[in-house]
A and B are shown apart, each in its own frame.
Chain A
Amino acid sequence: MEMDLQINVRKNGTTRIIDLHGEVDAYTSARFREIMLELIDDGGIDLVINMCKVEYIDSSGLGALVGGLKRVSERNGKIVIVSDGPQIRKVFEITGLEKVFPIYDEEHHAVEAVGVKADS
């Protein structure tokens, strides 16, 4: 099966910015979850997940995010989302998860929201 999700990670202090490109679904969400948890275990406190190039996210993708939230919460971190597309926003809105994962149109607003701390 094809794996239709590209994942790229950038580092900004203790914030990790994860760029997703493609579909976050049952085929790809396990890899996304794994990378997210590795980043947190390696010192990432806050995660900015840029979904501007995500076409679709399904409930397994949302489940991966909740799994990540559990791990960052243990370190008093946050997960915020960047998305400028109505389809992705709708998924968060209908589930009520937009109240759990704040969504920003622009990445710099999301980075400001988590507040960059120096990497120790």
Chain B
Amino acid sequence: MTNTDEKTVQHMDISVPEEFALRDEVRWLKSEDLSLFRFLRETMNKIEPAYIATYPPSECGIATFTKDLSSAVAKYTPFSKPSILAVKREHEIEPYERVVRFQVFKENKQSYIDAAKYVNDSTIDIVSVQHEFGIYGGDDGEYILDFLEALEKPAVATLHTVLQRPSPNQKRIIQEIGRICECMVVMVRTGREILLNVYDVDPKKATVIPHGVPNVHRVSASSVKRALGIADKKILSTFGLISRGKGIEHVIRAMPMILEKHPNVVYLVLGETHPGVRKHEGESYRNMLAETASELGIEENVRFNNRFLSLNELVRYLCATDVYVTPYLSKDQITSGTLAYALGCGKAICSTPYLYAEEVLADGRGMLVDFESPESIAKTVNNILDNKELKESMETAAYAYGRRAAWFNVAVDYLDLFHRIITREKVKTGAAVEAL
């Protein structure tokens, strides 16, 4: 986008509101009405969760997820202190927020045991493990098992990757996590089925809680586009940390076929190159995408925004979007934060049929296209843009799903799960997703 566009959009009141949450209200009461403050402190529930994961300013999806989840949960528990056990490389200095109370050195096995000791000696009630093979040290991130073995408090694992064809070591790790943890959370039913069928996880230990999405109320794309100075354009978009597995080149190759029918379409590729990818191959993937657009003569219709976008910026761009596209290449992908966000904004979505997309876009919430197929993408996008009723019905269905998955609802599901585990109640399997 041009600088002019950036300035204009700042004036639009399309942002996720700052909320005066229960936690803020209670803090205010401490100075305004001490007796009511004390009454609430004695009466309300207290759960002190810790989260072991990567954490901002680390740039990765799990770090963002952990911040969103822990913040959302904390809003309901004004008398509890959340803790983050942040996993990082030993030599990196991260300016963490105060909520990070322990730093786990990724490749240092002893650091995981020390983290467990820290939790054991604290008032922490339960640990939420955010699991993805790559974020922990050791082969396939197996050091997380050293943490869990040394932990004397209950733990819940949220699995961000559930492979259908794991290596023997990956399978062992997931099975061990399943054995030690009180419960494993996945974000779609398919993930739970894989856990039961491939990993033989105890069905009583596997539950579904959707990926959280920001609380965004619906707004018409046209009003946002006016503010962006692109009122006459139809917008396709893809956002997130850019890497080769995203398959963005297939959307770019679909563009000429889309432009034939809809010459005013612009495809926005929003977000910077994944830092891990940038370290190894620089901007070669993004350069390839730009070259492809140039070879096709559609540079004006494919625009890149190569930087980290704030939540409000993302929401503005998503609100301006007519069709959101996730052209990802891996069938096994079991979650996608960006797709979840697009659902939350009530967008018409077109996606390749990876496992997460297949499930969350069912029942008219989106349309699936073939992997690596510009023709399939073009046909579907044209269909959505040609058919106003279809587009509106997809948007309405996506939004309804997104409301149930808003972070404030997901936080309640997690708190309910934590509470049940602490009080040793039976975990309701699939409880959250049944409500969708």
By a beta-carbon cutoff of 8 Å, the part of chain A in contact with chain B is 1-4, 23, 25-27, 29-30, 55-56, 58-60, 62-64, 66-67, 69-70, 73, 87, 90-91, 94-97, 99-100
* Interface of chain B residues 19 through 54 with chain A (CB within 8 A): 19-26, 29, 32-33, 36, 39-40, 43-45
B32 contacts which chain A residues (CB < 8 A)? Answer: 70
B21 contacts which chain A residues (CB < 8 A)? Answer: 58-60, 62-63
Residue of B nearest to A33 (CB): B20
Apart from A62-B25, A100-B40: 5 A-B pairs, beta carbons within 8 A:
A26-B215, A27-B215, A63-B26, A64-B25, A96-B45
- Does the CB pair B215–A66 fall under 8 Å? no
Residue of A nearest to B29 (CB): A70
CA distance A117 to B419 in the complex (A): 39
- Does the CB pair A96–B215 fall under 8 Å? no
* Interface range on chain B (Cβ under 8 Å from partner): 35 or more
* Interface of chain B residues 391 through 436 with chain A (CB within 8 A): 403, 406, 408-409, 412, 415-416, 419, 435
User: Contact partner of A1 among B18, B217, B406, CB < 8 A?
Assistant: B217
Given contact pairs A94-B415, A95-B45, A70 touches B217 in the complex (Cβ within 8 A) = no
A59 contacts which chain B residues (CB < 8 A)? Answer: 19, 21-23, 75-76, 408
- Does the CB pair A60–B416 fall under 8 Å? no
- Does the CB pair A2–B219 fall under 8 Å? yes
- Does the CB pair B76–A62 fall under 8 Å? yes
CA distance A111 to B195 in the complex (A): 49
CA distance A100 to B14 in the complex (A): 35
Is B139 located at the chain interface by the 8 A CB criterion? no
A91 contacts which chain B residues (CB < 8 A)? Answer: 76, 412
Given contact pairs A2-B219, A69-B36, A58 touches B19 in the complex (Cβ within 8 A) = yes
A58 contacts which chain B residues (CB < 8 A)? Answer: 19, 21, 75, 215, 406, 408-409
B75 contacts which chain A residues (CB < 8 A)? Answer: 58-59
29 contacts across the A-B interface (CB closer than 8 A): A1-B13, A1-B14, A1-B219, A2-B218, A23-B403, A25-B406, A56-B408, A56-B409, A58-B75, A58-B406, A59-B19, A59-B22, A59-B408, A62-B76, A63-B22, A63-B25, A64-B25, A66-B26, A67-B25, A73-B33, A73-B36, A90-B412, A94-B415, A95-B22, A95-B44, A95-B415, A99-B44, A100-B43, A100-B44
